[in-house]
Amino acid sequence: MDEQPNDNRPHIPTWVWILTIFAVILGLQLWLSGRFSGPEQISLQEVADFIRADEVEQLVVNGDRLQVTLDDGRTFGAVKSTSDSLIETFQYYGISAEDLNDRLAVQDNSTWNTLLSLAFTIGPVLLLLWIFTRGFRQMQGGGGGNNIFGFGRSRARNLTDANRPTVTFDDVAGVEEAKLELAEVVQFLREPEKFVQVGARIPKGVLMVGPPGTGKTLLARAVAGEAGVPFFHISGSEFVEMFVGVGASRVRDLFEKAKQAAPSIVFVDEIDAVGRQRGAGLGGGHDEREQTLNQILVEMDGFDNETNVIVIAATNRADILDPALLRPGRFDRKVFVDLPDVAGREKILAVHARGKPIASDVSFKDISRLTAGFSGADLENLINEAAIFAARRSKRTIGLLEFQDAFDRVVMGPERQSRVMSEDDKMTVAYHEAGHAVVSFFLTNTDPVQKITIVPRGRAGGYVMSLPEDRAVHSREFFEDQIAMALGGRAAEEHFFGRVTTGAGGDLQQATRLARAMVMEYGMSDRLGLPTYGGGSGSPFVGREMGWFSSGRDYSEEAAQIIDAEVKRILEEAYTRAKTIISQNHDQMVHLATTLIDVETLDRAAFEKLMNAPSAANGQVSPPSTPGAPVANLPPAAAPQQPSPTPRPAQALGD
C-alpha cells in the first residue's frame, strides 16, 4: 500500500473565512470613507467661512466629497448632500459661483464610485446568500463538521492508522468468552474470503451487554487494534439534537462514510441513549430520537454480504432496547461481558500492574479472592489508589499494606481521622462488630471473617469484612445465615446493654432486603409456594412511581399480607439464632470486644486465634494486654453515627 502524504497544514473552518471577509469589507469601507485615513473632516459652514475670509487656496470636488486646501498648507475634508449641486450647496451659505470659480477643481471618479457603491451594497447580500445556500446543503448531510451549519454531519471519530488504538486482546483480561466472540469479527475483516467460500455470513451487528466498568469499550478498542481497519467511534447521545431530523442525517452520514471505507467497524457506545423502545412513555415517544432509531434500522438493513461493515454497540441496559434492534439481521450476536471471576480478576490485576513497581509480598491471587464483585474498572482504580498511597509514603514500590489501605478506601471510604469517639461510643461499636464476627464464626454458610475494625471510615463507625467466595447459586440456608450474621450486631447490643441503637439501621435494611428476595423472587417460602411476586422492576420509560402497574406489583392484597408475615418470620427466626449464639459464647464476645477497644483492628489470623483461645476458670476470659471495662459494669452507650452501607465487593456489616 502506497504511503499517503501527510498534510500537516491546518484546516481553517469556513466561519473563520466568513468573518475575515466581513472584516476586510468593513475595513475598506471605513478607509474609503476617510475614517482611517485622509484629512480632518469639517462642516460645510466652516468651509464657507474659510472662503469668505479668502483663506482657501484650492477646493477639490470628487463626487459628494470636498477637499479644502488653505493658504497656510492645512487640508480639510467635507461632504455635501447628494441631491444638491456644489453651487446650490454654497449658495445656501451665502457663497456665490464667482467666489468658487478661481479656487475650484473637479475630479471625475463617478464610475469608480459607482462600482464601489454597488460592491458594498450587493456584495454582502451575495455573500449571505452563498452562506445560507452552503449551510442548508450541509444540513442535508454534506459539509464539514466545523462549519456553522454542519448539523447533519456525523461526529464519529475515525480512528485510522495514525490514531488507531494500540490496545489488543492481550491487554484485555477476565472476559475470555467475549474475546472469542469478537475474535471471529476480527478474522472476518482480515480474511473475508474464508467465510465467503463456505457460504457463511458474518453477523451484521454485535451487541455487547454488561454492567458498567466491565470492559465493553476497551473490547471495542481492542477490536480496532487487532483488525487494522477504519474504526468509527461515536456515542449514542451524539446522534440526538434539538433539531428534528439532525440525528437521522448524522446516521446516514456515518454509515455512508463506513461503506466508503469498507471493510470497517462502526462502534456505538451507550446505544440505549438512542435505541430505547419506540412509542414508550407517557404521551408517546420522542420524535427526534425515534426518527434516529428508524434510520439506524434502515441503514443496518441496507447492508449486504459484500459491504464488510460491522456494527458493534455497547450498553448496560439491554432490557430497554427496541426489539427491532435485537432481531437477527441487525444485531445478530449478543456478547455478555459480565463481572470477572476470581481467575479473571487475577489476570486483570496483572494487566493493570504492568509498568508499576509491585513489591514481592503482594499476591494478586489473594487480592483477587478479596475483591469479589469488582469490575475491571474497580480493579484498575484499586491499583491506582495503592500507587497513590505508596507515593504519599515516599515508597519506591507498592506493597501489601498499600493494597490493604486502598481496598479499605475503595470499599468503605476514607478513614475519618478527625472523628474522636467517646468511650461509650467506642464500647458500643466494639460489641456491635464483635456480634457480627462471632455469629459469622459459628454459622456454616458464611464466609470467613477477613477483618474487624472499629476505626470510622466513610459513614461507618466500624465494620466486619468477610472474604466472599464466587458462588453461582445460593441456597435457603445461605440466605438464612447471612441474615442472622447481619442481625448479630443488634443482638449483641441488646444482650450486653439491654437496648439497641441506630447503628443497626444498615444491617436491618440488608437483612430485610435478603428476606424479601427469598419470599418474592426465589420461592423460598412454604406458605407462598413457587410463584414469584413483583418480579418486574417497573417501566423504565414512565418512571418508578407512576402507580402499581409501574412498580411491578402483580399480586393481591392478601398475598401482600402473607409476604409481610413471611418476611417478618424469617427476620425474627434469624434474630433469635443470633441472640442464641451470642448468649452461648458470652465469654468470647467479651474477649473479642475488649481486644477491639484496645487494638481497634484485627485481621483474620488474630481473630481466629482469639476465638480458639481457651477460657479461664469460672467462665472468665483471659484479659487482653490492656484490659477493657468489665461487662458487669457496662455504662449506657451513646448511639453511634449513621450506619454503613454494605459494600458490594467484600461483605462488611455494621458500623
What is the Cβ-side half-sphere exposure of residue 358, based on CA atoms within 13 angstroms?
A: 17
**453: closest CA among 495, 405, 390?**
405
| φ, ψ of residue 424 in degrees (nearest 5) | -65, -45
* C-alpha cell, 326: 435485537
Active-site choice (433, 480, 494, 566): 433
| φ, ψ of residue 468 in degrees (nearest 5) | -75, 155
- The residue count of the chain comes to 655
State the amino acid at position 469 in one-letter form: E
> Coil, strand, or helix at residue 255?
helix
**348: closest CA among 339, 336, 357?**
339
Burial of 632 by CB count in 10 Å (0-12 exposed, 13-18 middle, 19+ buried)? exposed
* C-alpha cell, 39: 484629512
> Going by DSSP bridges, is the β-strand pair 264-269/104-106 parallel, antiparallel, or unpaired?
unpaired
**440: closest CA among 637, 644, 624, 585?**
585
**18: closest CA among 121, 137, 126?**
126
Angle at 48 between CA 45 and CA 54, to 5 degrees: 145
Our answer to whether residue 98 is catalytic in this structure is no
Contacts with 192 (C-beta within 8 Å, 6 or more apart), sequence order? 202, 263, 308
Burial of 530 by CB count in 10 Å (0-12 exposed, 13-18 middle, 19+ buried)? exposed
CA–CA dist 207, 185 (Å, integer):
12
DSSP state of 151: G
What is each CA distance from 525 to 445, 517, 522, 563, in whole angstroms?
19, 10, 8, 9
For residue 640, give the H/E element and its range.
Answer: none
Catalytic machinery residues = 433
